[in-house]
Amino acid sequence: MAAFLAIDWGTTNRRGYVVDGGAVQREHEDGLGILEVAASGIGFETALAELKATLGFDGLVLMAGMVGSNRGWVEAPYVRCPAALDDLAANLVWIEPRRVAIVPGLSHLDPPLADVMRGEEVQILGAVGDGSLPPRALVCHPGTHNKWIEVEDGRIAAFRTVMTGELFNLLRRHSILSDQLDGEAAPGAAFRAGVDHGLAHADLTAELFQVRARRLLGQATSDDDASYVSGLLIGNDLKVGLGRQRHDHVHVVGRPELTRLFAAALGQAGRATTEIDGDDAFVAGLSRLAETCR
């Protein structure tokens, strides 16, 4: 397979990979997400040219993520679930014919539920394609907007989004708890206690205030509030993701620093887990799409 440039272009970050023969030869990550491109005024065409120059590559470019949203470069309409890689390939949006394309996201409608994703679909279907994810599975994809994805017959059949990562970041930066959440979340005793509470109770917003009140009244002296709150949010997240149907094994796809937290929490919930590196899955997915572009 000829070389191509795979780009995961999100809201706040951008990652590019020069892929040749199915393997990553060079990669680059920066903070030039779609919001920064809009704020800087440089334009997406210039931003892409700069990335290609940085990576020393000039050939086929495939992009996925928020670059195809209504706030991105060119909107790539959602493909409705159930969907496989062939459905993504059939709906690529070409900016330059056979040279630069954007991969569409997916939508799921199950009234009253309505949901969308951009970027995660490439990772999940890439993992199915390379055999690291079975054709029937429940997938947890941690991130700013965590996804619980049901895979059936090798296709993404349904999914649900939980804003766990974004809520944690908002609490850390803009809430009354911000001065207590400056540590790094880690899967220790405080994290496990938070997960247990999140799984067992339906009082998330009340328990968040308890984190502050216990410290003020001398009932807690732990410096592990970030781990506890992370576990609390993830435990609540798991109740949503595990609620639709019983799966004893959950595949967790994403960045290792996030998958390890969710895998630890899922273990507490009595589920076996397999962790899959999201970057590897993303490259696998776009590699298969690239084969259809030749």
pLDDT tens column, 63-104: 999 999 999 999 999 999 999 999 999 999 999 998 999 999
Given a contact cutoff of 8 angstroms between Cβ atoms, the answer to whether 3 and 20 are in contact is yes
Fold match, 4-133 / 164-276: yes
% of the chain exceeding 70 in pLDDT: 99
- Considering only 6-10, 58-62, 217-221, 233-237, which range has the smallest mean pLDDT? 217-221
Query: Residue 78: which of 64, 91, 95 has the closest Cα?
Result: 91
* Region class of 253: left (phi > 0), else alpha (psi between -120 and 50), else beta: beta
Helix (H, G, I), strand (E, B) or coil at 168: helix
Instruction: Output the CATH code of domain 4-133.
Output: 3.30.420.300
pTM of the model: 0.94
Long-range contacts of 44-48 (CB under 8 A, 24+ apart): 44/72, 44/73, 47/14, 48/7, 48/100
pLDDT value at residue 62: 98
Mean pLDDT of 201-223: 91
pLDDT tens column, 98-139: 899 999 999 999 999 999 999 999 999 999 999 999 999 999
Q: For residue 111, report the phi and psi dihedrals to the nearest 5 degrees.
A: -45, 135
Report the pLDDT value the prediction gives residue 220, as an integer from 0 to 100: 77
Report the pLDDT averaged over residues 257-279. Answer: 97
Residue-level pLDDT at 93: 98
Q: Which residue has the higher pLDDT, 294 or 241?
A: 241
Extract the tokens encoding 238: 């798991």
Sheet of strand 4-9, all strands in order from the earlier edge strand to the far edge: 23-30, 14-20, 4-9, 61-64, 100-102, 93-96
Residue 46 reports pLDDT greater than 90: yes
The confidence score (pLDDT) of residue 53 equals: 98
pLDDT digits (tens, 9 = 90+) for 160-205: 999 999 999 999 999 999 999 988 999 999 999 999 999 999 999 9
Q: What is the pLDDT of residue 1?
A: 67
Domain spans of the chain? Answer: 4-133, 164-276
* Beta pairing partners, 147: 141, 161
Q: Is the pLDDT of residue 22 over 90?
A: no
Q: What is the pLDDT of residue 245?
A: 74
Mean predicted lDDT score pLDDT of the chain: 95
Query: The domain 164-276 belongs to what CATH superfamily?
Result: 2-keto-3-deoxy-galactonokinase, C-terminal domain (3.30.420.310)
What are the CA-CA distances from residue 182 to residues 65, 143, 170 (Å)?
29, 19, 12
- pLDDT higher than threshold 90 for residue 293: no
Looking at residue 22, what DSSP letter applies? T
- The pLDDT value recorded for residue 223 is 77
